[in-house]
Amino acid sequence: MNNGAENGDLPLEGEEPGRRIGRRAILAMLGLGAAGVLVGSRVQSLVDRALRPITIRDRTGLSSYLPGTGRFRIYSVVGFSPKRTAAEYRLRVDGLVERPLTFTLGQLQSELPQTAFTKDFQCVTGWRVEDVPWKGVKLSAVLDRAGVKAGATHLRFFSFDGTYTESLTLAQARQSDVLVAHHMLGKPVTREHGGPVRLYVAQMYGYKSLKWLDRIEVVDKLVPGYWEELGYDVDALIGRSNGRDDEPVR
């Protein structure tokens, strides 16, 4: 549960500024939202906005029975889910590395040790999904395979949506619960959730868990990610950033 702290005048995640939502979209939201069907980011953000005041004031826990709470919202800052098939998929690792690498999905699943665990997912706007099964490769294993050069300090992550980016320090990236995930919720990461491969950064707010992972660049300075440029904390520890006091993920 959150403490009711608002993010000041930060743009609300999932919202596309300046776009009006028509009556048809609202009607679609009511129907689709209730049925639990995945909907576009514009419509989804409206659901979030409608539910947010309820979630913040709720001390009974009853709001978790409303549609849209206790389960994932689908976010995409570009307003759609880009598509890359399992066969097409490649992960590039480059920058300050001994061996720039390109992994196919098959290589990620067979040539590196596999890690699985069950942990919560917490978005900075307040929703949390408990006990999500994750499976993939530790980011540290990927970095070791490429060989990080001396002098490197940070990573940049790029999405094949062409817009979204994220950042981590190397120390953060090497935590054993930071995953290059190819499975989530007991099945291959779906297109909407950022498949074939997304990031999962357990200790940090959801915006660190970049979807549609395309490329990891090893660099020697901090380059803030998409939401960080818009005011969210670069150091995004759950319960210790963004003015929030959510329970840390264990």
Q: Which of 89, 103, 157, 212 binds ligand MTE (CB under 6 A)?
A: 212
Q: Which of 15, 161, 217, 233 binds ligand MTE (CB under 6 A)?
A: 161
Q: Which does 77 bind (CB under 5 to 8 A by kind): Mo ion, ligand MTE, none?
A: ligand MTE
Rounded-to-integer distance, Cα 178 and Cα 208, Å = 10
Output phi, psi for 92, to 5 deg: -100, 140
Binding mask 111-150 for ligand MTE (x = CB under 6 A): ------------x---------------------------
Of 140 and 159, nearer to ligand MTE (C-beta) is 159
Output phi, psi for 47, to 5 deg: -60, -45
Of 76-115, which residues contact ligand MTE (CB under 6 A)? Answer: 76-77
AA identity, residue 83: K
Q: Which does 212 bind (CB under 5 to 8 A by kind): Mo ion, ligand MTE, none?
A: ligand MTE
Neighbours of 134 (CB within 10 A): 23
Q: Which stretch binds ligand MTE (CB under 6 A): 87-95, 100-108, 141-149, 207-215?
A: 207-215
Rounded-to-integer distance, Cα 234 and Cα 222, Å = 9
**Closest distance between ligand MTE and the C-beta of residue 124, in Å?**
7
Q: Is the peptide bond before 17 cis (omega within 30 degrees of 0)?
A: no
**Is residue 206 close enough to count as binding Mo ion by CB under 5 A?**
yes
Parallel, antiparallel, or unpaired: how do β-strands 90-95 and 213-219 relate?
A: parallel
Q: How many residues bind Mo ion (CB under 5 A)?
A: 4
With H, G, I as helix, E, B as strand and everything else as coil, classify residue 57. Answer: helix
Of 146 and 210, nearer to ligand MTE (C-beta) is 210
Rounded-to-integer distance, Cα 20 and Cα 179, Å = 36
